[in-house]
Amino acid sequence: MGTINLVNICLKFTVRGCCAVVMVAFLVSVTAAEDPEPDSNGTEPNNPTESLGYPGKEMRDGFVNSSKQIEAAIQAEPDEAAHYVGLADVQIFLWCYGFAPHAEVMPRCETAVRKALALNPNLAAAHTAMGIVLLGQRDWSTAEHHLRLATELEPHRPESRHWYALYLAAMNRHEEALKQSQKSYELDSSLGMTIARSSIFYFARDWQKMIELLEPVIAQDPKYGPAYDWLGMAYVQEEQFDKAIPTYLRAAELSDELAEVLGGLGHAYAVAGREQEARQVLGKLQQMSEHWHVPPVQVAFIHVGLGEKEQALNLLEQAFSERSWELVFMQTEAWLDDLRDEPKFTALVEKMSFPQQ
């Protein structure tokens, strides 16, 4: 069959998954719909709680369609390792974006990755994917082995370096993470990798550096949704709520109301003291969860902002049971700081069995 066109698209893991954004060579093209420009009078965009639709529908549909293309490619070329990596990547993105729980997609991901490695043991992208599989299984040391090996097998592949940087950031090894991120950015300074770089600064808690990176991205491309999401995080941490709220509202519009963006919006409302609006977003996420998978950590962020620690902790326990992607970053996630002295939170961190520093 003909070669499938490879394009770079910007993908955000939620902390996160958000947690983090990475530019990946991927077998799908996601084209943003035409969106109206932000109002020039400074008013906030429409409140996303006014309607209920599938969160991130366009992106999710892109992943599903991509999966079908890759499966057709595997049928035509069953010995091509890259096809199996592509199939694994789709499952990873569905998990990290919160479209599907770990149990639904990651076993299939692992099967595809192991097939890719059997066909080509030196394929860097396959080792990166295996590292992510092992993060979901909380096998931290073996995950690091594969993520680091990917950077050694293909030193000039920026995506591998960024994934390894994310792992290092999650383990509180920020100096190492920033070095890997810098190398990644030197290899690829595109808009997507600028977002990726900002995510490493987020976990290192350098909010001003994030702002310096991301404001020019939006100036260059006002419809680039991921930039609004991560910039909103930085504004929240700097308590610039007059900027954070409109920025998050714009992110919600551009992302098709992705659940993790709504979680960030609700958290921003809550810490800004706008409780009624925070509860509106909370209610919308709860409605969504009755029909579709919504990552519990994203709902927990809003409860943390509202000072509702017990509800937040219960949701984190649920996230632990579901092996949610966001918990990989719970040691460094700033939005969980208010819970760190809680015995239930301490017990949860211990259950994650993170490596000792």
Question: Of the candidates 243, 334, 260, 224, which has an alpha carbon nearest to the alpha carbon of residue 99?
Answer: 260
What per-residue confidence (pLDDT) applies to 47? 56
Superfamily of chain region 7-32+53-352 = Tetratricopeptide repeat domain (1.25.40.10)
Q: Residues of the chain with pLDDT > 70: what percent?
A: 85
Token duo for residue 342? 């809680």
The per-residue pLDDT for 36 is: 39
pLDDT tier at 52, thresholds 50, 70, 90: low
Structure pTM? 0.87
With CA atoms as reference, report the closest residue to 159 among 134, 177, 142, 184.
184
Highest mean pLDDT among 19-23, 55-59, 234-238, 258-262: 234-238
Those residues whose C-beta lies under 8 Å from the C-beta of residue 315, and which sit 6 or more positions away, are: 296, 297, 299, 300, 303
Residues contacting 36, CB < 8 A, separation 6+: none
Q: Please write the tens of the pLDDT for every residue from 58-71.
A: 888 899 899 999 99
Q: What is the pLDDT of residues 179-190, one digit of tens each?
A: 999 999 999 999
Distance CA 113, CA 120 (A): 10
Per-residue pLDDT of 79-124, as tens digits, reads 999 999 999 999 999 999 999 999 999 999 999 999 999 999 999 9
* DSSP H or E stretch at residue 21: strand 7-26
| Mean pLDDT value of segment 126-131 | 98
The angle subtended at Cα 330 by Cα 215 and Cα 104, nearest 5°, is 95
Residue 348, amino acid: L
Express each pLDDT in 195-253 by its tens digit: 999 999 999 999 999 999 999 999 999 999 999 999 999 999 999 999 999 999 999 99
The torsion angles phi and psi of 15, rounded to 5 degrees, stand at -35, 70
- Whole-angstrom distance, CA of residue 187 vs CA of residue 193: 9
- Residue 56: the pLDDT is 83
pLDDT at 156: 97
Cβ neighbours of residue 65 closer than 8 Å, sequence gap 6 or more? 28
Task: Give me the pLDDT at residue 53, please.
Answer: 66
Confidence of residue 55 (pLDDT cuts 50, 70, 90): confident
CB-side neighbour CA atoms (13 Å) of 114 = 8
Q: Is 138 exposed, middle or buried (0-12, 13-18, 19+ CB in 10 A)?
A: middle
**Would you say residue 282 has pLDDT above 80?**
yes
- Distance of alpha carbon 61 from alpha carbon 341, whole angstroms: 41
DSSP, collapsed to helix, strand or coil, labels residue 10 as: strand
**pLDDT in the model for residue 25:** 36
Between CA 163 and CA 173 the distance in angstroms is 14
Question: Which of 11-25, 207-221, 237-251, 274-288 comes out lowest in average pLDDT?
Answer: 11-25
Q: Determine the Cα angle at 108 with ends 107 and 109, to 5°.
A: 90
Exposure of 300 in the CB half-sphere (CA atoms within 13 A): 28
Q: How confident is the model at residue 352 (pLDDT cuts 50, 70, 90)?
A: very high
Nearest one of 128, 106, 126 to 118, comparing CA atoms: 126
138 pLDDT more than 80: yes
